[in-house]
Structure 1
Amino acid sequence: MIPHCLLLENENTKQVVEILKEIGYTFERVNDFEDIAQKLDEGKFHFLIFHVNDLENKIEQKKLSEFTTDFPHTLIILITDTSQWDLTASLLKRHSVYDFIQTPVDLDHLKFTLDRSFQYLLTKLKSQFINDAENNLYKRMVEIFDWKKSISNKENENIAADIIHQMNINLFQGSGIGTLMSVVSILISKSKLDQDEKSYSIQKPVMDLLSENYEAAKSMFDSMSISQSIIDDEELVTKKLSPSKLLPIIEKEIEILTEALSIKNQKVNFSQMPISASGKKIRLDETKLSYVIREVLINAIKYSKEKDIIYLIFFQKENFLELKVINPAYQNDDGSTGIPEKFESFVFEPFFRISSVVDDSYAKFEHFRFGLGLPLVKKIMDQHQANVQIYNIENNFRNENTKDICLTIRFPLFDEEK
């Protein structure tokens, strides 16, 4: 995953802008210290970066401490120099900032610092959620399911309980193998041997049920094949195409999902490509991106309600193209709403589910199953060297005091070759 940064821009940080562009990290800018809190509140950033000279007095330093309290999942990186070392050391000691970079800023040093800090952040988020009793199992599971190889037989016993649980949910709840087995049982018991004892007669309702669940089971095995191909594929996407190529992919997937949308009378509205993105390119594999669009749309459809509208909105910001998929957030079984903050990174982990309830209505449209949908989305976006996040946002579309779920994909932009 590519870290997403918020940069307080001034003369002292202009060099950082160019380096962030060069190393391909996505970022947004603010020009005033007073605007930082609002920007952090509007989006999700892994890092806040600014120069020590922006902390001119105790007021800014107090606000800095408030940032660390109000936005604990955003690490503060300070650009500093030897003349301000006393202040820098004090901020580090008080944990107001996580790390610092000394001027003149070096590309390799900046990248190393951000990469190291990002790994700390991910580890911190995981350790906050997973208790000690589960920690060893979780780490072992991540080691095994690291997308670099298929799960080997000798390792299976370590995560057997998790896999069996997911197989039970996906294979034997709703239509598919479970119902198919039941229908076969009915077929055997209800079919009648004719007088010549050369053939059996089958009632039409039983045959219809058998055909329906055969198709569901076949769809499940097809999804297994696609998932396996994604898991085993380690190639980075290098092909660069115009961002406009995303539009026909989205249009095709919406058309395919017409029946799924009709189940709850839902609609999908999507914006056109920003004019500012013309003349740019993104890394784009059409087949893999179609899997991503299908999965994020199916998720939005599943977790939305009757007559809800799902929005797909493009933005061009700084050095990246942003696609936001937005749908209403509703209360979960545990009383939380949408994607609780503590789960924002875990929904991209294999086998993780906020709810264990399977909505069978959409099974035939899905490419990915077994709790692997968003993990495989993340895998594909990693291959595009792009970023994907999911989180709750304040509702700005429906004029109601509610929240929405926002899945955000950020593609680094490249200039077209002349």
Structure 2
Amino acid sequence: MIPHSLILDSEETSELISSLNEINYTYERVNKLNDVLSILENQKFHFIIIHVKNLKDNESQEFLSKISTSYPNVLMILITDSLNWALTASLLKRHNAYDFIQSPIDSEHLKFTLDRSLQYLNTKMKSQFIHEAENQLFKRVIDIFDWKKSLTHKENENISADIIHQMNISLFQGSGIGTLMSVVSILIAKSKLDLDQNVYLVPKPILDLVSENYDAAKSMFDSMSISQSVIDDDLLVESKATIQNLLPLFEEEIKFLEEALSLKKQKINLSQLPNSAINRKIRFEQAKFSYVIREILLNAIKYSKLGDEIYVIFFHRENFLEIKIINPAYPNEDNSFGIPEKYENYVFEPFFRISSVVDDSYAKFEQFRFGLGLTLVKKIMDQHQANVQIYNIDSNLRNENTKEVCLTIRIPLLQEEI
């Protein structure tokens, strides 16, 4: 995944902007240091990049420290030169900044620095989640081996049961393999042998049930085949097209999902493409983009409720096209809300689910299953050298201040035009 940066704009950053455009990494600019906090409240960035010349007074350095404290999962990167080594070293030593870029900027070194910093950031966020998960596992182990509690509650649980439960969710819950096996057993039990005709007579409702669950099981295996093809494909997308190719794909997938939307009387509102970018090109492979669009729309549908509206909005920002899919945020099983910050990276990991409940109503619309949906979305976006994030935002889309889940895709706009 490519990183997304917030840049404090100044005369010294023009060189940085040129290099980011050259390597096709996305960014946004802010004019004042004091505006950074307000922007970070509702937008997600991997890095904040500031030239040290903007941090020479104590007030600016204190504000930088406040940003680092308030948003520890956004790395601060400095642009510096030989005249500002002392200040740069001081800020790095105090952990107000993570790394630096030396001016004059070399594009290859810039890419190396940002890639290395992104790798550190992802590792840091995962380790935070894993540490919490380890603590939960430790408490669970204590419960399992607390013989007094076991005798009191006659518990017969173990860690293996949790593993089996996850396998059941992924493979056997709902229609598909599990139900097909049950229906086949009913078929065998209820079929009657006609000795004269040497045939078995099967009640029509049972055969209809077999047919229905055969289709569901076939859909599951088709999904496995599609998932495998995406997993095995490691090539970057080289084909290009204008952004005008995206709108018909969204319209086609929304039409395909009409039945899914009707289940809870939901609606998708699709914006128009921004005119300012209409002739700009992006990396584009139609089949893969279709997979992504269906998955992210279906994900929003599944986690929304009766009568909800889902918004798909396109923006032209700096050097990239931004696509936002916005749906209402609701409480989770663990009393968290929407996409908690600690899960923002982890939801793209294989098999991870915030909710263990599988809504079988949407199975026939799915191309990716088994907790692989967002994992494969991220992989396809990586192949398009784009980035994808999902997080909660405060929104007034519905004429009231509400929490929303916002999935954001940023696709770099190529320098060439048609």
Contact 2:243–2:279 under 8 Å retained in 1: no
1:274 to 1:417, Cα distance in 2 relative to 1, 3 A: closer
TM-superposed deviation, 1:110: 1.7
SS of the counterpart of 2:304?
coil
Q: Which residue of 2 aligns with 1:151?
A: none
SS of the counterpart of 1:279?
coil
TM-superposed deviation, 1:284: 0.7
Q: Which residue of 1 aligns with 2:225?
A: 225
Contact 1:48–1:75 under 8 Å retained in 2: yes
TM-superposed deviation, 1:133: 8.6
TM-superposed deviation, 1:103: 1.9
Distance (Å, rounded) in 2 between the aligned partners of 1:353 and 1:213: 25
**What is the correspondence of 1:1-150 to structure 2 with a 5 Å cutoff?**
1-131=1-131
State the one-letter code of the partner of 1:232.
D
SS of the counterpart of 1:322?
strand
TM-superposed deviation, 1:107: 1.8
Q: Which residue of 1 aligns with 2:138?
A: none
State the one-letter code of the partner of 2:64.
L
Question: Could you tell which deviates more after superposition, 245-254 or 111-120?
Answer: 111-120
**What is the correspondence of 1:282-361 to structure 2 with a 5 Å cutoff?**
282-361=282-361
Aligned Cα root-mean-square deviation (Å): 1.9
TM-superposed deviation, 1:417: 5.0
Distance (Å, rounded) in 2 between the aligned partners of 1:56 and 1:86: 11
Distance (Å, rounded) in 2 between the aligned partners of 1:414 and 1:113: 22
Distance (Å, rounded) in 2 between the aligned partners of 1:195 and 1:89: 92
TM-superposed deviation, 1:251: 0.6
Contact 1:240–1:283 under 8 Å retained in 2: yes
Question: Could you tell which deviates more after superposition, 164-173 or 53-62?
Answer: 164-173
- CA-to-aligned-CA distance 1:49-82 (integer Å, 9 cap, x gap): 0111112422211111110111111100111223
Q: Which residue of 1 aligns with 2:213?
A: 213
1:334 to 1:134, Cα distance in 2 relative to 1, 3 A: closer
Distance (Å, rounded) in 2 between the aligned partners of 1:166 and 1:221: 19
Q: Which residue of 2 aligns with 1:142?
A: none
Identity of aligned residues (%): 67
Distance (Å, rounded) in 1 between the aligned partners of 2:355 and 2:304: 14
Contact 1:191–1:201 under 8 Å retained in 2: yes
Structure 2 unaligned segments of length 5 or more: list them. Answer: 136-159
SS of the counterpart of 2:353?
coil
Distance (Å, rounded) in 1 between the aligned partners of 2:352 and 2:162: 9
Q: Which residue of 2 aligns with 1:371?
A: 371
1:390 to 1:117, Cα distance in 2 relative to 1, 3 A: same
TM-superposed deviation, 1:169: 1.1
TM-score, normalised by the number of residues in structure 1: 0.91
Contact 1:260–1:362 under 8 Å retained in 2: yes
Contact 1:162–1:351 under 8 Å retained in 2: no
Contact 1:166–1:370 under 8 Å retained in 2: no
Q: Which residue of 1 aligns with 2:143?
A: none
Contact 1:279–1:416 under 8 Å retained in 2: no
The reply on whether 1:392 has 2:385 as its aligned counterpart is no
Contact 2:240–2:282 under 8 Å retained in 1: yes
Distance (Å, rounded) in 1 between the aligned partners of 2:225 and 2:246: 25
- CA-to-aligned-CA distance 1:229-261 (integer Å, 9 cap, x gap): 111112211111010101111111011100000
State the one-letter code of the partner of 1:108.
E
Distance (Å, rounded) in 1 between the aligned partners of 2:331 and 2:133: 28
State the one-letter code of the partner of 1:255.
K
Q: Which residue of 1 aligns with 2:189?
A: 189
State the one-letter code of the partner of 1:355.
S
Question: Could you tell which deviates more after superposition, 222-231 or 163-172?
Answer: 163-172
Distance (Å, rounded) in 1 between the aligned partners of 2:117 and 2:161: 33
Contact 1:176–1:220 under 8 Å retained in 2: yes
- CA-to-aligned-CA distance 1:342-386 (integer Å, 9 cap, x gap): 111111111111111111000000000111101111111111111
- CA-to-aligned-CA distance 1:191-220 (integer Å, 9 cap, x gap): 122251511222122112111111101100
Contact 2:279–2:417 under 8 Å retained in 1: no
State the one-letter code of the partner of 2:218.
K
Distance (Å, rounded) in 1 between the aligned partners of 2:182 and 2:126: 41
Distance (Å, rounded) in 1 between the aligned partners of 2:178 and 2:319: 49
TM-superposed deviation, 1:167: 3.8
Contact 2:327–2:405 under 8 Å retained in 1: yes
TM-score, normalised by the number of residues in structure 2: 0.91
- CA-to-aligned-CA distance 1:285-327 (integer Å, 9 cap, x gap): 1111000001001100000000000111000111111111110
State the one-letter code of the partner of 1:225.
S
Distance (Å, rounded) in 1 between the aligned partners of 2:314 and 2:81: 39
The reply on whether 1:173 has 2:173 as its aligned counterpart is yes
Distance (Å, rounded) in 2 between the aligned partners of 1:84 and 1:198: 93
Q: Which residue of 2 aligns with 1:263?
A: 263
1:133 to 1:163, Cα distance in 2 relative to 1, 3 A: closer
State the one-letter code of the partner of 2:336.
S
TM-superposed deviation, 1:21: 0.6
Q: Which residue of 2 aligns with 1:143?
A: none
1:125 to 1:225, Cα distance in 2 relative to 1, 3 A: same
SS of the counterpart of 1:414?
coil
TM-superposed deviation, 1:164: 6.0
TM-superposed deviation, 1:165: 5.3
Q: Which residue of 2 aligns with 1:146?
A: none
Distance (Å, rounded) in 1 between the aligned partners of 2:355 and 2:77: 36
State the one-letter code of the partner of 1:29.
R
1:415 to 1:80, Cα distance in 2 relative to 1, 3 A: closer
Contact 1:395–1:401 under 8 Å retained in 2: yes
Q: What is the number of residues matched between the two proteins? A: 395
State the one-letter code of the partner of 1:258.
E
